[in-house]
């Protein structure tokens, strides 16, 4: 799993959102983007992470930052998740994990002694040209927004 470093060009993506509409990385050109990968919609950690981003969106939008979450979930499940928690940003479906592979967020995990492959919870702050400002792999759900804010203040 190759990890992206600060200054790297973010891999392009073209994925369906919760409504089946195609969303591309290039759609965010001219804006900063908080992009995060999460394992499964409507699970405790993923809900904590999504709701913290939802709650921070007024401040993030004021700073010219958009947000997008990516998981292997199908659009219908993403729509239910978005509606249930009134999420105010796109959730994208990556069932073949091609985008997750490109960002280095798909890999070996273990739970209760059993190994499997899946999403490694990670987040990225991208600049207006789609370059990585900062990348956080194995990020805690509660740290996504604070880490992004710290990165902006440091820049």
Q: Which of 146, 115, 141, 136 is nearest to 40 (CA)?
A: 141
Please list the active-site residues.
46
Rounded distance between C-alpha atoms, residue 14 and residue 32, angstroms: 17
37, 105 Cβ separation under 8 angstroms: yes
Rounded distance between C-alpha atoms, residue 75 and residue 66, angstroms: 20
In the numeric block, the tokens 């921070």 are attached to 56
Q: Which residues pair with 68 in a beta bridge?
A: 35, 90
* 3-state secondary structure (DSSP) of residue 87: coil
């Amino acid at each position: 799993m190759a990890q992206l470093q600060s200054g790297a060009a973010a891999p392009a993506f073209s994925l369906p959102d919760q409504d089946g509409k195609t969303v591309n990385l290039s759609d965010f050109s001219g804006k900063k983007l908080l992009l995060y990968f999460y394992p499964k919609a409507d699970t405790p950690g993923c809900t904590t992470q999504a709701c913290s981003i939802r709650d921070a969106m007024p401040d993030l939008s004021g700073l010219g930052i958009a947000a997008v979450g990516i998981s292997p979930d199908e659009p219908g499940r993403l729509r239910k998740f978005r509606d249930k928690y009134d999420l105010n940003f796109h959730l994208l479906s990556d069932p073949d994990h091609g985008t997750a592979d490109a960002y280095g967020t798909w890999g070996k995990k273990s739970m209760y002694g059993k190994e499997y492959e899946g999403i490694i919870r990670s987040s990225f702050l991208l600049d207006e040209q789609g370059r990585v400002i900062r990348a956080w792999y194995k990020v805690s759900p509660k740290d996504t927004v604070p880490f992004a804010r710290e990165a902006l203040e440091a820049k």
